[in-house]
Amino acid sequence: MAGLIALALLLTAGCNPTDEELATRIADGIKAAVKNSDVPVGDLNPLYRGVWPSVFYVDPGDRQHGTGWLLEPGLIVTVAHLVEGRRQVIVRQATAPTFVADVVGSDHLRDVALLRYDPAQAALDPRAMPLPMGNATIDDIAKDLLALGYSGSGVKRLGTVGSPKANAGILSQITNFGAASYGRNLEMDAAIDPGDSGGPVLNRQGEVVGMVRAAARHSADGGLVVGTFYAVHADEIRTAIASIESGEQ
């Protein structure tokens, strides 16, 4: 961006501004651009830095990995399709040691699964805090969302995976697939990819309002879809967790 502004200024500036003049004009140009923009620059960064240690790489071992997040000490939430048929999964952290978690249960319709680990055995990153849950309604459409996930990430030496990726967007719509399907979902334009599934979708207050589930690929008439991504709605996550916990023997 600075390069483009510099070029534009050079073309209109007339003869030979000093480097100092040029630097001042470029700085003023950027300030004006930011001031006139409705999108504040970089302000999801404090949120990201507060929550990333609570986001985990969930490794089912026999298929594409996904993501999970800390609900409370001992409990991690992820998507059901990631852990289907598994009784245990490997949980990898950005920089802290790997641990094993049991699959407590899954709500397949809502695509929510609950994992349990022993807090006395697992050495979590000390900055990992349970993520509070929030809500999203149609009044929140066009508000910012931050999705975190481990798409495209690989396992490093010692089994760590580095910090998760940040994908920002807005709440595009809330859609209801019906009780016999995925229930209520957030539609968002935060671009998510394989590996991000199960990642938390946060509002600006740092509350989990959804969980990354899927990307739309084709419209009803077969056209290519590139900007529609689905997340399990917070209410469906709450309902699923309650039903998994109550069904536990």
Binding footprint of ligand NAG on the chain (CB under 6 A): 135, 137, 235
**Least distance to ligand NAG, CB of residue 236, Å:** 10
Catalogue the E-assigned strands of 177-228: 184-188, 200-202, 208-215
Give the closest residue to 200 by CA, choosing from 130, 247, 248: 130
Give the closest residue to 48 by CA, choosing from 157, 130, 165, 222: 165
Report the residue number, 193 or 235, with the smaller CB distance to ligand NAG.
Answer: 235
Nearest-5° angle of CA 229, CA 204, CA 171?
25
**Least distance to ligand NAG, CB of residue 182, Å:** 17
**Least distance to ligand NAG, CB of residue 133, Å:** 8
Report the residue number, 66 or 210, with the smaller CB distance to ligand NAG.
Answer: 210
The whole-angstrom separation of Cα 94 and Cα 169 is 23
Report the residue number, 196 or 236, with the smaller CB distance to ligand NAG.
Answer: 236
Measured at CB, which residue is nearest to ligand NAG? 135
**Least distance to ligand NAG, CB of residue 202, Å:** 16
Nearest-5° angle of CA 180, CA 186, CA 190?
135
Report the residue number, 189 or 235, with the smaller CB distance to ligand NAG.
Answer: 235
